[in-house]
Amino acid sequence: DAKTTQPPSMDCAEGRAANLPCNHSTISGNEYVYWYRQIHSQGPQYIIHGLKNNETNEMASLIITEDRKSSTLILPHATLRDTAVYYCIAETSGSRLTFGEGTQLTVNP
Amino acid sequence: GAVVSQHPSWVICKSGTSVKIECRSLDFQATTMFWYRQFPKQSLMLMATSNEGSKATYEQGVEKDKFLINHASLTLSTLTVTSAHPEDSSFYICSATSLRLAKNIQYFGAGTRLSVL
Show which of residues 77-96 on chain A sit within 8 Å of chain B, judged by CB atoms: 87, 93-96
pLDDT tens column, B63-91: 999 999 998 888 999 999 999 999 999 99
Residue A109: which of A11, A14, A9 has the closest Cα?
A: A14
- Minimal CA separation from A52 to chain B, in Å: 16
> Chain B: which residues have CB within 8 Å of chain A?
4, 6, 32, 34, 36, 43-46, 49, 91, 93-95, 97, 103-111, 113
- Sequential pLDDT tens for chain A (109 residues): 778 999 999 999 999 999 999 999 999 888 999 999 999 989 999 999 999 999 999 999 999 999 999 999 999 999 999 999 999 999 876 677 889 999 999 999 9
**What pLDDT does A94 receive?**
61
Measured distance CA(B13)–CA(A49) in Å, rounded: 39
- DSSP 8-state assignment for residue A52: S
CB atoms within 10 A of CB B7: 14
Q: Is A49 on the interface with B (CB under 8 A)?
A: yes
DSSP conformation letters of chain B: ---EEEE-SEEEE-TT--EEEEEEESSS--SEEEEEEE-TTS--EEEEEEETTSPPEEPTT--TTTEEEEEEETTEEEEEE-S--GGG-EEEEEEEE-TTSSTT--EE---EEEEE-
Q: CB burial class (10 A; 0-12, 13-18, 19+) of residue A30?
A: exposed
- Minimal CA separation from B54 to chain A, in Å: 16
How big is the A-B interface in CB pairs under 8 Å? 56
**What pLDDT does B54 receive?**
84
Measured distance CA(B30)–CA(B48) in Å, rounded: 15
Query: Do A95 and B103 lie within an 8 Å CB cutoff?
Result: no
- Minimal CA separation from A27 to chain B, in Å: 17
Nearest residue of chain B to residue A42 (CA atoms): B110
Measured distance CA(B85)–CA(B88) in Å, rounded: 5
Q: Is A46 on the interface with B (CB under 8 A)?
A: yes
